Amino acid sequence: MQTALYVIFIAILTLSALCLIFYIPRIFAWFYGFKKQSILINSKKNRFAIIVPARDESHVISTLFNSLKKQTYDQTLFDTHVLVKTEEDKTVELTKEFGGIVHVIKEKVCKGHDINMALQKILKEAPNKYDAYIVIDADCCVDKDFLKEMNNAMASGRQIIQAKQLVKNRLYSDKKANNWVTRCNGLIWTMIDEIGNKFKSRHQIINMTIGTGVMLRSDVVKRLGGWPYDKTLTEDIELMYDSVCKGFTTFYYNRAKIYVEESTSLTETNKRRTRWMTGVVDSKRLYNKKVKSLPQTWKNIKNTYYANALTPAYWFCGINTLACAGFLGIGIIALIFNPAIALSCLMYAIVCFLNIYLGFFALTLFCLLVDRKTNKFSFWENIQTLFVHPLFYMGYIPIVAKALLGKQPQVWKVIKRMDLKGEQNIND
Taking residues 152-168, report their average pLDDT: 97
Dihedral through CA 167, CA 173, CA 178, CA 183, nearest 10? 40
Task: From residue 340, give the alpha-carbon distance in Å to each of 10, 334, 354.
Answer: 18, 8, 21
Residue 412 has a pLDDT of: 52
Residue 216 has a pLDDT of: 98
Please state which of the ranges 87-96, 100-109, 194-203, 380-389 shows the lowest mean pLDDT.
100-109
272-304 pLDDT tens trace = 898 899 999 999 999 999 999 999 999 999 999
Task: Give the angle subtended at the CA of 235 by the CAs of 231 and 237, to the nearest 5°.
Answer: 110
Residue 1 has a pLDDT of: 75
Quote the CA–CA distance of 236 and 286 in Å, as a whole number. Answer: 13
Whole-number percent of the chain with pLDDT over 70:
94
State the sign of the Cα–Cα–Cα–Cα dihedral 272, 392, 418, 369: negative
**Sheet containing strand 250-260, strands side by side:** 101-104, 78-84, 48-53, 132-135, 214-217, 160-167, 250-260, 141-142
Residue 406 has a pLDDT of: 74
Taking residues 73-78, report their average pLDDT: 96
Taking residues 396-416, report their average pLDDT: 72
Quote the CA–CA distance of 75 and 95 in Å, as a whole number. Answer: 16
| pLDDT reading at 15 higher than 50 | yes
Residue 375 has a pLDDT of: 86
Quote the CA–CA distance of 100 and 155 in Å, as a whole number. Answer: 27
Residue 83 has a pLDDT of: 94
pLDDT band with cut points at 50, 70 and 90 for residue 364: very high
Please state which of the ranges 132-136, 233-237, 350-354 shows the lowest mean pLDDT.
233-237
pLDDT band with cut points at 50, 70 and 90 for residue 426: very low
Residue 255: CB atoms within 10 Å:
17
Residue 108 has a pLDDT of: 61
Task: Give the angle subtended at the CA of 29 by the CAs of 280 and 374, to the nearest 5°.
Answer: 85
Residue 316: CB atoms within 10 Å:
21
Kindly report the average pLDDT of the chain as a whole number.
91
Residue 404 has a pLDDT of: 87
Residue 337: CB atoms within 10 Å:
9
**Is residue 133 within a helix (H) or strand (E), and if so which, with residue range?**
strand 132-135
